[in-house]
Chain A
Amino acid sequence: MSAAATARVAAPPAATLAVVDAEGARELRLAGRLDAYAIAGVWSDSRAALAAAPDRRVVVDASRVDYCDGGGIAMLVDLLRQPRPPEAPVTVRGLKPEFQTLLDQFQPNELRAPPVEPAERLHTVEEIGRAALIVGRDLRTQIIFVGETAAALWNAMRDPQSVRWKDVWYTCEQVGVNALPIVALISFLLGIILAFQSAVPMRQFGAEIFVADLIGLSILRELGPLMTAILLAGRSGAAFAAEIGTMKVNEELNALTTMGLDPVRFLVVTRILAALLMVPLLTLFADIIGILGGALTMLTFNIPIAAFLHEIDSLVDVKDLLAGLAKTPVFAILIAGIGCLRGLQTEQGASAVGISATRAVVSGIILLVVVDGIYAFIYYLLDV
């Protein structure tokens, strides 16, 4: 091995410890370089040597220490603060003056971790009460938000001039136009998969043609609206929460408030209006692409597109399309409303924005599914 390679492998003068038992006292002779990288072994050895002589004086001889940084000082402080009987103290001697000034900054005993106060155990009833209080507060902000938003939307309807339409169109582009590719991709795949998975077993009964009805009904009534809404909750709901959350962290919301401009009117109404305009359109688009995907798949099962569409036409009617589209305004309000609410609830700090975006997506999707269930129930009762 070359000399250079050896030099690279060899550590700088490492810290060493020699324990010498002299008369009446035990000496810990430290030498070399005391830094955070070199002292781990020496530190535990010194502690052990200290513990092995509980009733003798211990002198830490640091006269041969060439270098000592914060790590070394911490080790010395640690040795000095070990609980010892008064007749067997630990002392440090011979430390170079420049290192001694570092050591003198610390009183060994003041660095003890403050005693952990045992967490106050609450009575179960009190805990339930506190949890209820938190839920109640959260509910209160949500109700206030719903009220403020409803009032702002009402004002926007009465006085359309007051709406910042430029922002609405911009948000429409973000929510609607820019979401076209992903909505197209997912609904096309959905159509293909639905058609293929159902056509294979149906073929055994020679009933492939009814795949058209299956696809028509399920996409128009359920999957088109729901998938579009879930996609938008993940895409735009999170974006709204993050955008408004960042504005809050940057004090932009405060700036709006002190200009006398209501953040709800300014930020929430524009986003809800944009979602109200875009979600039905995107859903319609998803319906068409999904059915197209199904029709193309059925070509491989020797069912021409014309026959596929004719079959859909015979069983599926406009009522089914409308039943699906009737959900979209509610979905739109949910997606945009929750995204904005979570954004407005953002606390301070960068991680808070991430938390808000996550909460927007999670609570958005949960509510979408719940509302979709309610719609299914109502349609069942109304026999739609």
Chain B
Amino acid sequence: MSEPIIRVEDFTTGYAGKVLLKDINFTVERGEVFVILGGSGSGKSTLLKHMIGLYEPMSGRIFIDGDDIVTAEGDARRAILKKIGVMYQSGALFGSMTLLENVRLPLEEYTSLDDDAMDLLARMKLKLVGLESFTGHMPSEISGGMQKRAAIARAMALDPTILFLDEPSAGLDPITSAELDQLVLRLARSLHITFVIVTHELASIYTVADRVIMLDKRTMGIIAEGDPKVLRDTSDNPWVRQFFRREATAEAA
């Protein structure tokens, strides 16, 4: 078995001196669809933002393809960032640019391709997510689901090895959400991209996830790890069972 593509070691983080996640350890294998799940406030989005280098942890190390993103600076950091693509919860497309320009931007900044070549590449990425006929649209002119797909296209512009998706199904209807799941599966299987997805959408988890970790704010750590269907059927942790069976807490019921 090859070296895991992401390795998180003894990771602790929090806000304003208050610990949110403590002593987290896990690995993500090359090519798998890895889902981080947990209830609201469990720190899953925070964990993702650490993995892409936006926040600095209190302690611990996060290796992306062998290099620690926590300590990397300058060119070393840019080299790590080139391997990853990120789709933010809101899409975070640049509002003053068309979809094509959004997808072209990383190409313009990192490659010396000529205009035609960049256009073609950007169009191909948009075609992959089914937006080939919207290349000239501004982000505000398309629906939320399309914005998220365009954000995936932009994240894939430089053919990253890892794609991070923050709450891909948030605010989407079930059909659009399912289409996004199919897109993830297609990209994972055909391009062998490793996906790290933060979500709490159960339907989506069962469809796409090879492996999940579940965070819980009560323990500030990982309370379950493995195949979601197996966890649902066999976990002895009451919180895990509760989550997978969509039950309200006993006190509230």
Identify which of B49, B88, B92, B93 gathers the most chain A CB atoms within 10 Å of its CB.
Answer: B92
Identify which of B53, B77, B86 gathers the most chain A CB atoms within 10 Å of its CB.
Answer: B86
Beyond A258-B52, A261-B106, 9 additional contacts (C-beta under 8 Å) are A250-B95, A252-B93, A254-B54, A254-B86, A254-B88, A255-B88, A258-B53, A259-B105, A260-B109
Q: Closest CB-CB distance, A192 to chain B, in whole Å?
A: 38
Residue of B nearest to A255 (CB): B92
| A251 vs B77: C-alpha distance when bound (angstroms) | 20
Chain B residues near A (Cβ < 8 Å): 49, 52-54, 77-78, 81-82, 84, 86, 88-90, 92-95, 105-106, 109-110
**Would you mind naming 18 contact pairs between A and B with Cβ atoms under 8 Å apart?**
A246-B95, A250-B90, A250-B92, A250-B95, A252-B92, A255-B88, A255-B92, A258-B53, A258-B81, A259-B81, A259-B105, A260-B77, A260-B78, A260-B82, A260-B109, A260-B110, A261-B106, A261-B109
Known: A259-B81, A260-B82. A251 touches B88 (CB 8 A): yes
Majority secondary structure, A binding face? helix
With beta carbons under 8 angstroms apart, the residue of A247, A250, A252, A260 that contacts B81 is A260
Contact B94 A252, beta carbon cutoff 8 Å: yes
With beta carbons under 8 angstroms apart, the residue of A247, A250, A258, A261 that contacts B86 is A258
| A258 vs B82: C-alpha distance when bound (angstroms) | 8
| A257 vs B90: C-alpha distance when bound (angstroms) | 16
Q: Closest CB-CB distance, A336 to chain B, in whole Å?
A: 17
Contact A255 B86, beta carbon cutoff 8 Å: yes
Majority secondary structure, B binding face? mixed
Chain A residues near B (Cβ < 8 Å): 246-247, 250-252, 254-255, 257-261
Residue of A nearest to B105 (CB): A259
The 10 closest A-B pairs by CB, nearest first: A260-B81, A251-B92, A255-B92, A260-B78, A251-B88, A258-B86, A252-B92, A258-B52, A259-B106, A250-B90
Which residues on the B side are within 8 Å of A250 (C-beta)?
Answer: 90, 92, 95
Known: A251-B88, A251-B89. A259 touches B94 (CB 8 A): no
| A252 vs B86: C-alpha distance when bound (angstroms) | 11
Q: Closest CB-CB distance, A359 to chain B, in whole Å?
A: 22
Residue of A nearest to B81 (CB): A260
Contact B84 A258, beta carbon cutoff 8 Å: yes
Which residues on the A side are within 8 Å of B53 (C-beta)?
Answer: 257-258
Contact A254 B92, beta carbon cutoff 8 Å: yes
| A145 vs B1: C-alpha distance when bound (angstroms) | 46
| A258 vs B94: C-alpha distance when bound (angstroms) | 14
| A252 vs B90: C-alpha distance when bound (angstroms) | 9
Which residues on the A side are within 8 Å of B82 (C-beta)?
Answer: 260
| A255 vs B77: C-alpha distance when bound (angstroms) | 15
Which residues on the A side are within 8 Å of B109 (C-beta)?
Answer: 259-261
Which residues on the A side are within 8 Å of B49 (C-beta)?
Answer: 254
With beta carbons under 8 angstroms apart, the residue of B78, B84, B95, B110 that contacts A252 is B95
Which residues on the A side are within 8 Å of B89 (C-beta)?
Answer: 251
